[in-house]
Structure formats: C-alpha cells, structure tokens
Amino acid sequence: MKLSSRSVLLFSSLAALLGIAVWYFAYRKKPVAPIADYPRLSPGVVMRDVTFRSQALQRDMDYRVFMPGNTSQKKLAVIYLLHGGGGSFRDWSNYSNVAQYAAQDFLLVMPQGDYSYYTNAALRPQDRYEDYIVHDLPADVEARFPARADREGRAIAGVSMGGFGAVKLALDHPEMFAFAGALSPAIDVPRRAFSWKRLDQSRHFQELFGPDGSDSRRNSDPFVLVQRADPARVGYFYVTCGRQESLLAPNREFVALLKIYGFAHEFHVVPGGHDWNQWNGNLAGFFDVLRHH
C-alpha cells in the first residue's frame, strides 16, 4: 500500500518524537548523589574546609584542616596528609582517627589530589599538581592559619598514591619538608610498563609520567631520584607496608636504596593489607616517630 506524503510526514514526526523521548529517558542527567562525609572528630580539635584558587592548576581546589581549638597565638607545625588514588580530601578524616593528633599542637592539612600522583603531568601541562602542593597550598595555609613556614615545621605524609607523592616531593623539594611519611606507598608506579590488560591505567600513567623509558619517567621515579638526591639535605623517611600487600617487594627494594645511599629512615613491615584498617592502626607509631624528628 502506497502512503500519502501527509502520512509519511506524520510517521516521520512521530519517529522523531519517539527518538527524542528515548534519548531523554536514557541520557537525561540523573540527580547527583550527596557526598558521604562523616569526619571522625576529636575533643579539643576544630575542623575547617577551605576552597581556594590554585595558580598552578588555574582552578579552585579544596582542602580540610584539623587544628587545636585553642592555639594561644603560637605557630603550629604543619603535616600535609595526601590521600590515595580514587580518594578525596575527606579520606583521612573519614577513614582514620587522625583528628586526635591535632590536639598535640599539629596543624593537619588534607588537600584534594585527584588521580594525579601529586606530580606535574608530563603530557597534560594544565595538571601541575606538584607545583600546587609545594607552592600554592602552603602559601594559602600559611596565610589563613597559624602555620609554621619553615622547613623544620613542615612534614608530608600519604597513603598509597599519597605515599608515592610524599616520597617524590620530599626528594624533589628537600628545602620544604623535614619529614616524609609513606604508608604503603605505590613506590614503583613509574616503573610499571604499558600493559594492554590495564589499558586505561597505562594510558593514564603515560599522561602523568610520559612514555616508558622517557626522561620524564625517570625524573618521576623515586628509585632514580634517590640516587641523585643529597642525603644531607633530604628529611627523614618513615616507610611502612603491610605483609599482605603486593607493594611489599618494591618497598623493600626502595628502602634498601635508602640505606645504600645513606638516607635517614626507618621501615616497618606491619600486619594487614592495603587498606585504611591497616593505615589507621599504625598512626600512633607514625606520630611517635614524627614528634622526634
């Protein structure tokens, strides 16, 4: 049966409307789920969230602070606490009991680090996360809070990706930090070769560190950096790793280099795996050592 031009037009219009309806219900923007944020607070400790403009990144960035409720106008030693991959500036406060240590006259600063490994990305010039952490962030913290601005008053620490960041930044900027804590650091990431089985991760690591074997890779590799750095200028390293972690072998190898090249350090193999239960359980030991260095 031959359809009239009017019928064809009507049919086409209905088909178009149906297509629009299908697109709308399939792809319409879904309501954004509220962010789960349940910080573990501690008596005598104040929490503050800050959003500021990073010049290095040319965008607004967030960080969270724990500090004593009564500072008595004195300057506080600052500990920058870096989260792991896939995390946020809320992780340390939500998954650990770190707040209690702010009562011991520490200013705890927990910045947003995205999935950056806290480095200036080799193939993404707009992602200068190392500059953001060592320049923009301290400047903002020291302008807003009673923070010490000297090397002996600064420490940096992190878990997993953040542990890598703490080590790399301490080696790259010995004038900044007197102490670096690395809890289960993903220390070998720049050495991981491109893998089709982990295509997305490998592509991301190329964006961050450059192609396999490149100078930018070597310049981001703690195993290389530790051989170039001056042990007399670099701060104290505190490294831990769980017995059940796949990262234990590369961490043992890295710590062996610290010993060979004469860096002040200590290394603890602890019970557990790569998770906040393990990291939270070892905070007391970490802060005991930190207070002495």
pLDDT, tens only, 223-257: 999 999 999 999 999 999 999 999 999 999 999 99
Same-domain status, 5 and 66: no
Same-domain status, 26 and 59: no
Average pLDDT over the chain, rounded to an integer: 92
Contact 217, 211 (CB under 8 A): yes
Same-domain status, 273 and 134: yes
The answer on pLDDT for 10 being more than 90 is no
Instruction: Give the pLDDT band (50/70/90) at residue 9.
Output: very low
Q: Which domain holds residue 13?
A: 1-30
Q: For the domain that residue 192 is a member of, what is the CATH number?
A: 3.40.50.1820
Residue 159's closest CA among 37, 292, 49, 280? 280
pLDDT, tens only, 13-61: 544 455 444 444 444 555 666 788 999 999 999 999 999 999 999 999 9
Within a domain: 153: yes
State if pTM tops 0.85: yes
Cα torsion at 10, 14, 17, 18 (round to 10°)? -170
Contact 103, 45 (CB under 8 A): yes
The answer on pLDDT for 116 being more than 70 is yes
Q: How many domains are contained in the chain?
A: 2
Whole-number percent of the chain with pLDDT over 70: 89
Decide: helix, strand or coil at residue 38: coil
Same-domain status, 23 and 51: no
Same-domain status, 17 and 148: no
Q: What pLDDT score does 32 carry? A: 60
Within a domain: 38: no
pLDDT, tens only, 173-231: 999 999 999 999 999 999 999 999 999 999 999 999 999 999 999 999 999 999 999 99
Same-domain status, 125 and 165: yes
As to burial, measured by CB atoms within 10 angstroms (0-12 exposed, 13-18 middle, 19+ buried), residue 185 is buried
The answer on pLDDT for 120 being more than 60 is yes
Within a domain: 242: yes
Q: Tell me the C-alpha distance between 83 and 116, whole Å.
A: 11
Window from 7-16, 44-53, 70-79, 94-103 with minimum mean pLDDT: 7-16
Within a domain: 7: yes
Same-domain status, 265 and 210: yes
Same-domain status, 87 and 127: yes
Task: Give every CB contact of residue 100 below 8 A, 6+ residues apart in sequence.
Answer: 42, 45
Instruction: Give the pLDDT band (50/70/90) at residue 73.
Output: confident
